[in-house]
A and B are shown apart, each in its own frame.
Chain A
Amino acid sequence: MEVVSPEGLRQDGRTVSCLRKISCRLGLYDQPNGSSYIEMGNTKILAAVYGPHEVKNLKKQQLDEVIIQCEVSRIAASQGERVKRPRDQRTRAMSQQIASVFEGAIRKSKYPGSQIDIYIQVLQSDGGVLSACINASTLALIHAGVELKDYVASCTASICRGEPILDVSYVETQSSCELTIAVLPNKETICSLHISNTLHQTQLDEVLKIAMDGCQSVYKEMHAVVREYMRNQHAIMTHV
């Protein structure tokens, strides 16, 4: 199967450095402090943030900073094959990864002795689930008003016959690796990097570069949505 055609187009008609369509929404629910929904191509994620609140398990409490707990679950029909368990080893690993990403982004000392919970629901997965989860949680955290050092924008990249490709779908990851990075876009620093399958060391730099550029585009998209949301909110507030 050809991932990139001789004309330089991929199966869904994108060029190698083209992202899938991103659309996101903030504030879907009233119950959690913050909530968001993101679509990156066919990958659809819901995220909800509760907190900062009192620590449930006092053994885990840290008096000088906040603890971050994350839970990812998938609905049964999120993939081609029916998912037997909503939470398994893979989602648990993903949860820990997401929690550790936000360890670096949340200003933890602002909320001493408390806890922030992030709940993520994967509605549909088509590659780049981890990155979509990270983006969704960022939006939910911003909506919740949790103090962040910066946005966390995440994106995937891969390489196919020596040519780096951005934002891979599920089909494209089958034949090559999938590199997921999360960056703080204003600081231009990477806070998480994860590669599934093998990638040659000499190719890492160019894949990383294209992924970094992708993250900046993802950031711009999220930024626009947050701004639009805030503008509406403040417009409502000043009318009252």
Chain B
Amino acid sequence: MPEGNGHLLCVPGERLCESNETFIGGEGTYTLNGYIFASVAGKVEQDVRDKITLIKVSRGGETSVMPEVGSIITGRVLSVNQLQANISILAVGENMLHTPFQGTLKKVNVRQHEIDRW
């Protein structure tokens, strides 16, 4: 049911479609008993890549993201000492965080070789 300027809107718990080889649930969705359900309120988007359709729900505007292993962050350095710098993480990827996260950047980790050695 297209509404809101032609967008397909959905709410949490709403069943979107069957989950099979051609339809895969992306972010903002979950799969249960062979169906894809929405888990956030937002706009349904389809991403078609050679026969496989990725179904995702985007909230639009700010999204709640968490920094994970491997994510690229933007932060502000709060203090620097001999061994490490304390930073406050402001953004993860392209998304601004609602509340900044604390982080530490160890000096020993900022080098190409022997990153595990003190």
Residues of A within 8 A of B (CB): 33, 50-54, 107, 110-114, 142, 144-151, 184-187, 223, 226-227, 230-231, 233-235, 237-238
Contact = CB atoms under 8 A, between A and B. Distances in A.
Interface residues of B, number: 30
14 contacts: A33-B64, A33-B98, A52-B66, A113-B66, A142-B11, A144-B64, A145-B42, A145-B63, A148-B40, A150-B12, A226-B41, A233-B60, A234-B43, A235-B5
B12 A151 contact: yes
Interface string B21-42: 0000000101010000101111
B13 A107 contact: no
A53 B99 contact: yes
Pairs of residues from A and B, 9 with the lowest C-beta to C-beta distance, nearest first:
A150-B13, A234-B4, A186-B13, A148-B12, A147-B39, A231-B4, A238-B5, A53-B99, A145-B59
B107 interface: no
B14 interface: yes
Given A145-B63, A149-B30, A186 B41 contact: no
Nearest to A32: B98
B64 A148 contact: no
